[in-house]
Structure 1
Amino acid sequence: MGIVLAILLFGFIVFFHELGHFLLARINGINVYEFWIGMGPTLAHKKIGNTDYCLKILPIGGACVMGEDEKEDLSEGSFNSKSPWRRISAIAAGPVFNFILAFIGAFIIICFVGVDKPVIGTVNAGTPAAEAGLQAGDEIVKINDKNIHIFKDISTYNQFHQGQTMKIVYKRNGEKNTVSVTPEKNDSGYYLIGITSSNYVKTNVFETAAYSAYNVKYWINLTIDSLKQLVTGRIGVDQLSGPVGIVSAVDTTYKESKSGGALLIFLNLLQMTILLSANLGVMNLLPLPALDGGRLVFLIVEVIRGKRVPPEKEGYVHLAGMALLLCLMVFVMYYDIRRIFF
């Protein structure tokens, strides 16, 4: 059951991404020739108007084919007959819709469970936080140059700045105070300052919307910080997860949530949706060939230059990028399978 849910979840996230492309293409008068979810052989398809809607056998991707690679086609309704800004909006809509989906998911979760505000619940005796004078009830608003909105911001900042001294700005009784805290390594090898979060609190609809945005921002920043660590070599490519790893993670989440009932399963899977959707949005905006971000780079260059990059050159770049992405996917899937089964 967990694996089926994982496939459906991943398929829905991809569908929502492609829906963004589809809707903005239609709004901008761009023809959509194919709209499909999955990869590989077609399981089912139906043509409505000019669009062929397809469901493919492998739930690991999708596409909204707008004819963007048909550079010579300037006929009415073709992708390349439209202004650069119309094309940019259609391409950017996919990642933007991923962020919208993540926001909707966060809003629903907060409506059910409340907000994890960055308020200290307890301060463990003898820890750096206690020695610095932090107390239960203090609200942390800033660490060094990073604004803090939710409690997860604190733990994640500490995770990516292990052992570094933190200048913490906090509120107590309406007044701001500042202390310096240096995390200490515990027996498990983690650097901690010795605080725990307070209880989740319910908020009004406007605060719920704001904290939903903060949650999406959190997952976006986490993805970007992880990519930085990948580029700098602090984590290896073998630690990445692809479709196989995602299915395994969702399956594990489902199994661990079963004992808590349907609502807990729903909320935990929704949390996975937020994580994956925000991640997919960021990854697709990377300025890499064949990704939405790569296509946006060429369109922005066109806006700046006032003329298009020669179609054959752009095509070669995207083709090379696609080949590299496929190689990376195979590599990541290999390590996913190795981690799970061996």
Structure 2
Amino acid sequence: MNTVIAFILIFGALVFFHELGHLMLAKRAGILCREFAIGFGPKILSFKKNETVYTIRLLPIGGFVRMAGEDPEVIEVKPGHNVGLLFNSENKVEKIILNNKEKYPQARIIEVENVDLEHNMFLSGYEHGEEDFLKRFDVSETSYFVMDGQEIQIAPYNRQFQSKKVGERIAAIFAGPLMNFILAFVILVALGFIQGAPVNDPRLGELTNDGSAKEAGLQEGDVIHSIEGQATASWQEVVEIIKDNPDTELTFEVERGGEVLSIEVVPDSATVGDETIGRIGAYNPVDKSFVSSFKYGFTETYTWTKEILIGFGKLVTGQFSIDMLSGPVGIYDITDQVAESGTINLLRWAALLSINLGIVNLLPIPALDGGRLLFLFVEALRGKPIDRQKEGIVHFIGFSLLMLLMLVVTWNDIQRLFL
């Protein structure tokens, strides 16, 4: 059960911050965001705040921000339709009642003759009882359709995704993956504060209870000036000397509390691959200062980003096979193993997943953020957008292939773990 909770929390946090990036930059650009969703499929929980409905959905395979104008509007008023109109204090149409008009006796019923709910925000028609007079009604930019008792906000063109400058649209799409990198960075900085950021000083960090360092009398915080007369200026130099001398007595000259001591230490031998190396049971020194933690967060984020990109490169060149990929089932299993090793490792795993999610979403694959960004960059170069219908077909095909890939990867995970 703890693994289930950990998986849900990690997954929820990664998707939440990713979609929050999209939401924040879209709202900043003035785009109407109809829904902010965690998961896909049927709604489990939903509430509305301001213009946006926030939902949690059943299938934990992602999330989305539904921006007005990305997809065709599901409701359209055409000439000949009979609708009811409710007005605000400025005598502008505030709500357009599409059905069940008898529930709104105060509504004025008209037969629509002309309508523009994107640019000029008006509709005109013949009001019941006054069919000889064509009337024009201005529509508020914050008006709603009302269908089956549900209110759907009307999106003027200036509130739609496509109406914004290409740079604003690129920012709204790129903000999702960017938030994943920021989340990973924040987690790793926090780990730097909690456990300390590794530093390269020739100083002993935490000692293990069964190591030769503790047995010989060395203590955490001892500064190592030399080993067997060889001066040591960094932790890396200390490690190299110890590795090269398994089961060999070494004289450590250390400084402790202003006093210089000579201590004999015999590194234990350990086999790593085909090599036998020396170990003394001491961790590298750490620093919990803000500057060191900040540097640690940046360095680790950069290092993991580079390693993941190298991995994707090997996948493209065939050095990795698709069987090595993990889907939700595989990630759940790894999360189970990591959770058993403690909270610190679980946080580090969450940071790694967040970086991975950011990178995957930036790949130039249709239906992912990277694919959408590719179309926007092409638009910026051409000076005009690609036909939306053609772009939609490409994204649909890309999404279908991604779902197929997910099924294959999930099946491989199930076979690997249970069959």
Matched letter for residue 106 of structure 1: L
User: 1:202-237: per-residue Cα shift (whole Å, max 9, x none)?
Assistant: 053123212211111111111101101111111111
> Which of 384, 395, 419 matches 1:307?
384
Which whole-Å CA distance do the structure 1 matches of 2:288 and 2:379 have between them?
46
Matched letter for residue 22 of structure 2: H
Q: Secondary structure at the match of 1:287?
A: coil
Q: Secondary structure at the match of 1:33?
A: strand
Matched letter for residue 341 of structure 1: F
TM-score (norm 2): 0.61
Please say if 1:18 is aligned against 2:19.
yes
> Which of 285, 289, 302 matches 2:362?
285
1:48 deviates by 2.7
State the partner residue of 2:64: 63
Residues 47 and 53 in structure 1, CA contact (< 8 A), matched pair in contact too: yes
1:56 deviates by 0.7
TM-score (norm 1): 0.74
Please say if 1:321 is aligned against 2:322.
no
State the partner residue of 2:321: 236
State the partner residue of 1:178: none
> Which of 79, 82, 85 matches 2:167?
85
Please say if 1:6 is aligned against 2:3.
no
For the aligned residue pairs, the C-alpha RMSD in angstroms reads 2.9
Matched letter for residue 296 of structure 1: L
Residues 71 and 80 in structure 1, CA contact (< 8 A), matched pair in contact too: no
Q: Secondary structure at the match of 2:284?
A: coil
Residues 197 and 287 in structure 2, CA contact (< 8 A), matched pair in contact too: yes
Q: Secondary structure at the match of 2:367?
A: coil
Q: Secondary structure at the match of 1:8?
A: helix
1:248 deviates by 1.3
Which whole-Å CA distance do the structure 2 matches of 1:192 and 1:301 have between them?
55
Residues 70 and 160 in structure 2, CA contact (< 8 A), matched pair in contact too: no
State the partner residue of 2:83: none
Residues 174 and 373 in structure 2, CA contact (< 8 A), matched pair in contact too: yes
- For structure 2, the 5+ residue unaligned runs are 74-117, 119-155, 205-229, 240-269
Which whole-Å CA distance do the structure 2 matches of 1:35 and 1:9 have between them?
18
Distance 1:324 1:291, change over 3 A: same
Matched letter for residue 327 of structure 1: L
Please say if 1:249 is aligned against 2:331.
no
State the partner residue of 2:222: none
State the partner residue of 2:407: 330
Residues 238 and 332 in structure 1, CA contact (< 8 A), matched pair in contact too: yes
State the partner residue of 1:156: none
User: 1:32-52: per-residue Cα shift (whole Å, max 9, x none)?
Assistant: 111100122211212333322
Which whole-Å CA distance do the structure 2 matches of 1:90 and 1:201 have between them?
38
Distance 1:194 1:47, change over 3 A: same
Matched letter for residue 359 of structure 2: V
Which whole-Å CA distance do the structure 2 matches of 1:68 and 1:191 have between them?
62
Which whole-Å CA distance do the structure 1 matches of 2:292 and 2:401 have between them?
43
1:255 deviates by 2.3
Residues 193 and 289 in structure 2, CA contact (< 8 A), matched pair in contact too: no
Which whole-Å CA distance do the structure 1 matches of 2:27 and 2:369 have between them?
18
Residues 3 and 250 in structure 1, CA contact (< 8 A), matched pair in contact too: no
Distance 1:205 1:293, change over 3 A: same
1:100 deviates by 0.5
5 Å-filtered alignment, 1:57-206, equals 57-67=58-68, 69-70=70-71, 75-117=157-199, 138=234, 199-206=284-291
Residues 192 and 292 in structure 2, CA contact (< 8 A), matched pair in contact too: no
Q: Secondary structure at the match of 2:364?
A: coil
More helix by share: 1
More strand by share: 2
Aligned residues: 280
